[in-house]
Chains A and B, each alone.
Chain A
Amino acid sequence: EIVMTQSPATLSVSPGERATLSCRASQSVSNNLAWYQQKPGQAPRLLIYGASTRATGIPARFSGSGSGTEFTLTISSLQSEDFAVYYCQQYKNWPVFGQGTKVEIK
Chain B
Amino acid sequence: QVTLRQSGPALVKPTQTLTLTCSFSGFSLSTSGMCVSWIRQPPGKALEWLARIDWDDDKYYTTSLKTRLTISKDTSKNQVVLTLTNMDPVDTATYFCARTVDYTYFDYWGQGTLVTVSS
Interface of A is mostly: loop
- How many interface residues does A have (CB within 8 Å)? 21
Asked if B55 is at the interface of the complex by the 8 Å CB criterion, the answer is no
Residues of A contacting B110 with CB < 8 Å? 43
Check if A97 sits within 8 Å of B96, measured CB to CB.
no
Does A71 make an interface contact (CB < 8 A)?
no
The minimal Cβ–Cβ distance linking B39 to chain A, given in whole angstroms, is 8
Residues of A within 8 A of B106 (CB): 34, 36, 44, 46, 89, 95
Interface size class of B (residues with CB under 8 A): 20 to 34
Query: Which residues of A have CB within 8 Å of B47?
Result: 44, 87, 89, 97, 100
Q: How far is the CA of A97 from the CA of B96 in the complex (A)?
A: 14
- For A56, the closest partner residue in chain B by CB is B107
For the complex, give the distance between the alpha carbons of A95 and B52 in Å: 10
A43 near B107 (CB under 8 angstroms)?
Answer: no
- In the complex, whether A91 has a CB less than 8 A from a CB of chain B is yes
On whether the beta carbons of B112 and A97 are closer than 8 Å, the reply is: no
Known contacts A94-B49, A97-B49; decide if A89 and B111 are in contact (CB<8 Å). no
User: Is A49 an interface residue, CB under 8 A from the partner?
Assistant: yes
Tell me the A residues contacting B by CB distance below 8 Å.
1, 32, 34, 36, 42-46, 49, 55, 87, 89, 91, 94-100
